[in-house]
Amino acid sequence: MNAAVPGLAARARAVGAGIAARHADDVDRNSRFPAEAFDALREQGLLGVMVPADCGGSGASLFDVASACHALARGCAATGMIYAMHQIQVACLVNHGRDGWHRALMTRIAADQLLLGSATTEAETGGDIRNSVCAVRAEGDRFTLAKNASVISYGDQSDVILVTARRNPEAPSSDQVLVVVTKEDYRLEKTTLWDAMGMRGTCSDGYRLEAAGGIDQILPLPYADLSAQTMLPVTHILWSSTWLGIAADAVSRARAYVRSEAKRKPGTTPASAVRLAEATARLQSMKAAILTAIRQYELASGSPELLTGLSFATAMGTLKVTTSELVREVVEAAIRTCGLAGYRNDTPYSLGRHLRDAHSAALMIGNDRIMSHIATQLLVQRDGSGPFE
């Protein structure tokens, strides 16, 4: 486990509470990128914290980054989610990038605070990230690819995009690689606009992406293994940490409301305090689930056998489903705590944005799809005595 990065959590809290929160309502109302927060994150050097120290980064641990996602999301869920999605891509580079081109890119990420996005979904596959229609077309030491991406979050603002594609035009749809392309390598043509109920600031528009580059930009590990070892577990942990931030801010607002009610009627406990206790209990369950998952990931790190095992995959999938349901339950309990003050949009206790953002959680890699996959795994999974059994 990497040592904690001094001051990282405090810097993230400062950006989250001081800048992201100030602009959160406007980001949501206008479905715009949280530019002010990301300007501040760049100034604080927080985009490159997961890059190893020998490439100019801080070598931050997953716990460090999860804490930062939580802190940012307390101020603005879209800011926290974009930061999480960026760091997921950085983790893929750090864990699976070979020497040479990828190492040079990591140095650039740390030095220039580049923002990383991803293109894993395609209109033709219905959002199934483990199958691709687009393919890498190699000619000598160069490649080209074209992808009809149904979603590329913050695509207009990304400096680098990690793209899933079939290994070659003859490969089956599940034989995928992850291709790293920089802004100089690709062209985006917008095909759909993001006008959603929640997470509006992620700007998750659809694009047609065309790219060309050198073969050495393709990560060497097959995407199936890379996804199992890094992308999926890190995704579920960092997304869950972001949802925890939404839930924590909702509970904080509910607590402030209950205290204001108690001041109005000294010597009595407001009836709404029971709902606050319920919300707090669910919040604690979220925290416990995330901390357990981070510990599981740390124990499995360095062992492809453990990282690709069915028990570990089940644990990470279960984390995502559990926290995505709990965040909605916490916010709903907070709204019932605050009553009309939480339901309205013009009070300090307003929770409408939190509820709308929370509803995105179950839809990002749909819970039904995850549970169906887990059910299939359980049919073939053997009982065991390992650390994740």
Beta pairing partners, 161: 117, 181
Q: How far apart are CA 101 and CA 194, in angstroms?
A: 33
Q: How far apart are CA 363 and CA 72, in angstroms?
A: 21
Q: How far apart are CA 248 and CA 354, in angstroms?
A: 10
Q: How far apart are CA 243 and CA 331, in angstroms?
A: 10
Q: How many residues are present in the chain?
A: 389
Q: How far apart are CA 318 and CA 144, in angstroms?
A: 37
- Where among 114, 134, 159 does a domain terminate? 114
Q: Please name the residue that has the structure tokens 């953002």.
A: 357
22 & 156 share domain = no
User: What is the pLDDT at residue 2?
Assistant: 55
231 & 365 share domain = yes
DSSP symbol at 63: H
Whether 305 is in a domain gets the answer yes
Whether 385 is in a domain gets the answer no
Each of the 389 residues of the chain gets a pLDDT tens digit; together they read 455 677 898 999 999 999 999 999 999 999 999 999 999 999 999 999 999 999 999 999 999 999 999 999 999 999 999 999 999 999 999 999 978 999 999 999 999 999 999 999 998 887 788 889 999 999 999 999 999 999 999 999 999 999 999 999 999 999 999 999 999 999 999 999 999 999 999 999 999 999 999 999 999 999 999 999 999 999 999 999 999 999 999 999 999 999 999 998 888 888 899 999 999 999 999 999 999 999 999 999 989 999 998 889 999 999 999 999 999 999 999 999 999 999 999 999 999 999 999 999 999 988 888 898 888 877 776 665 444 45
Helices 62-75 and 8-15: crossing angle, nearest 10°?
A: 20
Whether 57 is in a domain gets the answer yes
Give me the CATH number covering residue 315. Answer: 1.20.140.10
334 & 205 share domain = no
The boundaries of the domain holding residue 44 are 8-114
**Torsion from C-alpha of 54, 57, 59, 64, nearest 10 degrees:** 170
Among residues 213, 201, 111, 107, which one has the least CA distance to residue 161? 213
Q: How far apart are CA 349 and CA 283, in angstroms?
A: 18
User: What is the pLDDT at residue 201?
Assistant: 98
Among residues 176, 319, 335, 321, which one has the least CA distance to residue 249? 335
Total domains in the chain come to 3
Please report, for residues 126, 168, 179, 183, the alpha-carbon distance to residue 215 in angstroms, rounded to integers and kept in the order given.
28, 12, 9, 16
Please report, for residues 120, 165, 282, the alpha-carbon distance to residue 366 in angstroms, rounded to integers and kept in the order given.
15, 21, 21
Q: How far apart are CA 41 and CA 275, in angstroms?
A: 35
Whether 387 is in a domain gets the answer no
User: What is the pLDDT at residue 382?
Assistant: 65
32 & 144 share domain = no
Whether 388 is in a domain gets the answer no
279 & 339 share domain = yes
The two structure tokens encoding residue 309: 């095992």
Q: How far apart are CA 230 and CA 250, in angstroms?
A: 30
Give me the CATH number covering residue 25. Answer: 1.10.540.10
Q: How far apart are CA 42 and CA 35, in angstroms?
A: 10
Whether 1 is in a domain gets the answer no
Beta pairing partners, 205: 152
Q: Which amino acid is at 242?
A: T
**Torsion from C-alpha of 69, 15, 27, 159, nearest 10 degrees:** -70
Whether 326 is in a domain gets the answer yes
Tell how far CA 224 is from the center of its chain. Answer: 19
Residue 288, classified by CB atoms within 10 Å of its CB into exposed (0-12), middle (13-18) or buried (19+), is exposed
Whether 129 is in a domain gets the answer yes
Beta pairing partners, 204: 153
Residue burial 178-210, b: 16+ Cβ < 10 Å; e: rest: bbbbbeebbebeeeeebebebbbbbbbbbbebb
Query: Half-sphere exposure of residue 10, counting CA atoms within 13 Å on the CB side?
Result: 4
